[in-house]
Amino acid sequence: MIISTEWIYIIMGIVCFFCSAYTFFDQANSRRIPSGLFYLIYAVTLLFGKVIPPFYTGLMVLAMVAIVAFGGLQKGSYNGVSADEREKSRKRLGNRLFLPAILIPVLTVLGSKLLVNVKIGSRLLLDPSNPTLVALGVACMIAILTAMMLTKSRPQTTFKESRRLLEAIGWAVVLPQMLATLGTIFTKAGVGTVVSGLITKVIPENSVFWVVFVFCVGMALFTMIMGNAFAAFPVMAAGIAIPFLIERFGANADQIAALSMFAGYCGTLMTPMAANFNIVPAALLDLKDKNHVIRVQVPTALLTLAFNIVLMYLLVK
C-alpha cells in the first residue's frame, strides 16, 4: 500500500516530538523537564513502536506512569494571541472557520468508502487492514492545511496549537492504547471463562431474562472498568454471549453483537476511563468539575441500558 497505518502513527509521532520540544524550552513551566519527557517518550512509542521490543515499550509506559504519579505533568504557557485578535479573526473568517472541522468526518467517510480498493499501479492507495484509520489521518492532514490557508498561519502555529491541546488532554492521551491492551490481557488470561463459571452459580441458567440482564449490565460495568466497549466485548462474549445466549438459547449472533456494544456504550457514558468522551471534553472546555460531563450523562445511560435489556430479551426469548 502507498499510505499505511504506520505512516499515520509516524506523523502523530512527529507532531508529538515537536510538542515535547516546545515544552522542554518553556521557561514558565516549572515542570518542563518531566512534562517534556512524558511527551517525548510518547512520541518515541509512536515513531518507533513497530521496531521497539514490547518489553522496552512497557518500560517506557511505566516511566510515563511514574512521571504522572509524582506530579511531573503540568500545563505550560502558550503566548497565544489576545482575545481581541481572536475576535477580529473570527469576524473576518465567519462560518469558514468550521470548514476544517467539517472536512475531517466528510473526507474520512468518503476516503474509507470510495478509495479502499483504489490502486496506483499495482499498489493499493490505502492500507487494506484499516482503511478508515488511514482515511481519518489523511483527512486530518488536509484539514490542518486548510486551516493554515484560511488563517494564513505559519507551520509553527500548527505545532504550538497541537501542544496546547495535547497538554490540555494530559495523561489521558495514552489511555485508549493502554485500555485496549488491558482488554487483550483480560482475554488471554481467561477472564471470560471465570465470568462464565460465576454466571452458572449465581443466576438460573434457563432464565433468558436474567442471562440477558447480567450480560448487558456486565458489558456496561466492564466498559466502565476498561473505558472501551471493544475491550469489554471479548470478555463478556466468551463468558456469557456465546455459551448461553447463542449456543443455549439460539440467539442471533449479529443481533447480540450489535446490542452488546450498545450496552457497553452506556458504560462509556458513566466512566472517567473513557477519556476520549468524558475527560478530554472537560479538559478542553476547562470545566472546574472534571466529572461534570459524566454526571450529566448518567440518567441517559441508565435509561438507554434499561431499553437495551428489554430489546435484547424480546429478540432472544
The C-alpha atoms of residue 227 and residue 220 are separated, in whole angstroms, by 10
- Asked if residue 179 belongs to a domain, the reply is no
Residue 63's pLDDT band (boundaries 50, 70, 90)? very high
pLDDT digits 0-9 by tens, 164-182: 888 888 887 887 777 767 7
pLDDT digits 0-9 by tens, 106-124: 999 898 888 888 888 778 8
- Asked if residue 284 belongs to a domain, the reply is yes
Parent domain of 94: 86-153
- The alpha-carbon radius of gyration of the chain (Å, integer) is 23
Instruction: Let me know whether 194 and 312 are in one domain.
Output: yes
Instruction: Let me know whether 260 and 307 are in one domain.
Output: yes
Look at residue 263 in the predicted model and tell me its pLDDT. 93
Instruction: Let me know whether 47 and 110 are in one domain.
Output: no
Instruction: Let me know whether 196 and 294 are in one domain.
Output: yes
Instruction: Let me know whether 215 and 284 are in one domain.
Output: yes
- Asked if residue 27 belongs to a domain, the reply is yes
Instruction: Let me know whether 61 and 97 are in one domain.
Output: no
Instruction: Let me know whether 41 and 112 are in one domain.
Output: no
Domains in the chain: how many in total?
3
Instruction: Let me know whether 145 and 30 are in one domain.
Output: no
Instruction: Let me know whether 269 and 306 are in one domain.
Output: yes
- Asked if residue 165 belongs to a domain, the reply is no
In this predicted structure, the answer to whether residue 59 has a pLDDT above a threshold of 70 is yes
CB atoms within 10 A of CB 176: 17
Instruction: Let me know whether 197 and 284 are in one domain.
Output: yes
Instruction: Let me know whether 57 and 91 are in one domain.
Output: no
Residue 1's pLDDT band (boundaries 50, 70, 90)? low
Q: What is the pTM of this model?
A: 0.71
Instruction: Let me know whether 277 and 252 are in one domain.
Output: yes
- Asked if residue 185 belongs to a domain, the reply is no
